[in-house]
Amino acid sequence: MRPGAPVKPDVSIVVPTLGRASLPALLAALPDDPDWEVIVVDDRRDQTSPLNLPATLSAYPKVVSGQGAGPAAARNLGWRVARAPWVVFLDDDVLPEPDWGQRLATDLAVADDVGGVQGRLTVPLPTHRRPTDWERSTYGLVHGRWITADMAYRRAALEAVGGFDERFRRAFREDSELAYRVARAGWRLVRGERRVVHPVRPEGPWVSVRVQRGNADDALLRRLYGPRWPQLLSVARGRRPLHAVTTAAGCVAVLCAASRLTWPALAAAAGWLGLTAQFAVARVKPGPRTPAELTSMLLTSAIIPPLATAQWLRGWIRWRHARPISPLRSRRSSMTELSEQRGRADVYFS
């Protein structure tokens, strides 16, 4: 390296955080490589207290303040201040395996048309009992496509599409939507071999109710990409159509009962009860079937259908004028810039 030449990192690692207790363990597990840049985006709404960072790492993580606007906005802030040609997004509750750094280097040695490389997730489940509904839901991340628990993007690809869509305020669908736009811009997305462990986060019995807010994001995707959005983004459509039918049956039963239409009310109530029972059984059967889990599944199975439907309608109304983010540049122009960056990199690393 020439004396006085600026040092450009090979890889920038961006970790958005809400200050979870798992953050120090993640940072401590990252490779101690001077050619790598670590950027922590503090996305807490209350930043009056400092983040809990390992003392041994206090010299190198760059901490930037987010606006509490959600993971999409926090990741955008992170990659835009990053300096490396590759940006690796990690969630603050994962733990890289010991050889993660070496495998990452191998994963990123790809052809120029590859814009993103996904890591592999391991979700440990209990061995002494069947997993709960929440544990099974978290385990589904193992089969997720392009999820940002561990996802590397070429900076040129992020710049070409404008990064994450910040209308997605939750950690739900924002990563799949970005991957779809990157692929449409002409970049290939591939799976790598590096691995991180994603433990199941402790949650209360009502977590399945709280996550129904994601249905509003699904409504946004429907507005952006039409009825085929699940196939385009390679995500499961889920049970929402049946939730809508269940909710409609319940509403009809109540209205008919109020109008003293006995038989129609009974028929609609039977439909509601049958669909709700089928949903509850599907959630209870593979689980531990403990009294607490059974109670939670029965109660939430009755609450989820109308709540999911209401959240979908809320998103459908809110995003009625939504349009997709337009690509900023084609891959061809991004590749030209990438070649120029490589020329500059010869100066940095020669």
The H or E element that residue 64 is part of is: strand 62-65
pLDDT per residue as tens digits for the range 48-57 = 888 888 766 5
Alpha-helical (H) ranges within the chain are: 23-29, 71-81, 100-107, 133-139, 155-161, 174-184, 207-210, 214-225, 229-233, 240-258, 262-284, 291-318, 331-349
**Confidence category of residue 328, pLDDT binned at 50, 70, 90:** low
105-130 as b/e, with b when 16 or more CB fall inside 10 Å? bebbebeeebbbbbbbbebeeeeeee
Residue 309: half-sphere exposure toward Cβ, Cα within 13 Å:
15
Section 99-110 average pLDDT: 94
CATH class of this structure's domain 11-203+325-349: alpha beta
Mean pLDDT, the chain, integer: 89
Q: Which comes out higher in pLDDT, residue 341 or 313?
A: 313
Render pLDDT for 206-247 as a digit per residue (tens, 0 to 9). Answer: 999 999 999 999 999 999 999 999 999 999 888 999 999 999
Q: How far is CA 211 from CA 42, 137, 152, 259, 308, in A?
A: 23, 11, 26, 35, 9
Query: How confident is the model at residue 3, as a pLDDT?
Result: 45
- What's 198's DSSP letter? -
Q: Which residue has the higher pLDDT, 67 or 150?
A: 150
Q: Give the predicted TM-score (pTM) of the model.
A: 0.88
Give me the pLDDT at residue 350, please: 23
Give the model's pLDDT for residue 33: 79
Could you tell me the residue ranges of all domains in the chain?
Answer: 11-203+325-349, 206-319
- pLDDT, tens digit, 9 for 90 and up, residues 334-349: 455 444 444 433 332 2
**pLDDT tier, 1 (very low <50, low <70, confident <90, very high otherwise):** very low
Closest C-alpha among 70, 59, 82, 110 to residue 13: 82
> Over pLDDT 90: what percentage of the chain?
78
Q: From its phi and psi, is residue 318 left (phi > 0), alpha (psi between -120 and 50) or beta?
A: alpha
Give the pLDDT confidence of 26-47 residue by residue, as tens digits. 999 998 777 889 999 999 988 8
CA–CA separation, 17 and 83 (whole Å): 20
Amino acid identity, position 169: R
Predicted local distance difference test score (pLDDT) of residue 338: 47
Q: Are 255 and 247 in contact (CB under 8 A)?
A: no
CA-CA distance, 123 to 200, in Å (whole number)?
7
Average pLDDT over residues 264-287: 97
